[in-house]
Amino acid sequence: MGTPELTRRLVLAVVTVGGLGYAPVASGTVGTLAAVPLFPVLDALRTAAPLAAVAALVGLTGLAVWAAGVAGPLLGDVDSSRIVIDEVVGFLVATAFLDFSWWNAVLAFCLFRLFDIVKPFPASWVERRLGGGLGVVGDDVIAGIFAGVVARLLLGMAIV
């Protein structure tokens, strides 16, 4: 296996989150579920070393943008449903607004999936206009911001 083949395999492993993107239905939901165990890890890191948590999230986002940009042509579709690393990033962005609890994980999960599917402005604009890896991941980052802000508002209002 030559270097280009190894690179291709690694990129596909990253964007499909170890193959979860090949789920026959709801691959985005499956990708989001894969991120749930990372919520308490990111929360613990945020508590212990806030800048390290920010760096980890920014680094993962950068990796996702690069890998999604490379993988799109390999998969024959710039925003292939098999690319689910963007859901991981988006969910973690949503949880960056919250302290870990299972209730908050469920709330963030539901809100993120809602905003990822609905794609309110500017998420839809980012997806269409930026294209490539930045468009693939950017709309999920925006959906994550929406989900995190709405979750904070709901929790602060004690509605949930």
Q: Cβ distance 151 to 108 under 8 Å?
A: yes
> What confidence score (pLDDT) does residue 2 get?
56
Return the H-helix or E-strand segment holding 84.
none
Three-state secondary-structure class, residue 53: helix
Which segments in the chain show pLDDT lower than 50? 160
> What confidence score (pLDDT) does residue 159 get?
52
pTM: 0.92
Q: What is the DSSP letter of 24?
A: S
105 Cβ contact list (under 8 Å, min separation 6): 36, 39, 95
pLDDT digits (tens, 9 = 90+) for 116-139: 999 999 988 888 888 889 999 999
> What confidence score (pLDDT) does residue 89 get?
98
Number of neighbouring beta carbons within 10 Å of residue 5 = 9
The two tokens of residue 155 are 């929790």
143 Cβ contact list (under 8 Å, min separation 6): 90, 94, 112, 115, 116, 119, 123
The two tokens of residue 108 are 């963030």
Q: Cβ distance 136 to 127 under 8 Å?
A: yes
Q: Which of 93, 111, 100, 91 is nearest to 159 (CA)?
A: 111
Q: What is the DSSP letter of 22?
A: G
